Amino acid sequence: MGETVGFGDAEGLRAFLSEHPKTAVGVVIYRGNEIMALGENIVALPHSLILGMQVHPTKRRADMERVRENVEWRNSKEFQDEATKKRVAATRATNEAKKKN
């Protein structure tokens, strides 16, 4: 468990979520301090938030509220539509690049 987390740390979760689309959210737990979005329906949470170590209860509630809001936003139709548009644009760009090569 590292103190930093990045997009690549969620590869396994992305594979799991693609095979189980009804799963609401994937969570990566790490030793850092920030709540981070790592992709569609994937969030990184500090282990202290989960374990309650050295975190003031008010901060923990605020952090959990941010997680809830993030998950709600990522499950919204607006977010899903925008994510779909970005995926389509990325796929088109990839296909165009392949045609040129």
pLDDT at 48: 82
pLDDT of residue 76: 85
Round to whole Å and give the CA distance between 7 and 90.
17
pTM for the whole thing?
0.51
Q: Mean pLDDT in runs of 10 for the chain (101 residues)?
A: 84 91 88 87 87 64 80 83 89 88 72
- Angle CA 48–49–50, to nearest 5: 90
The pLDDT value recorded for residue 16 is: 92
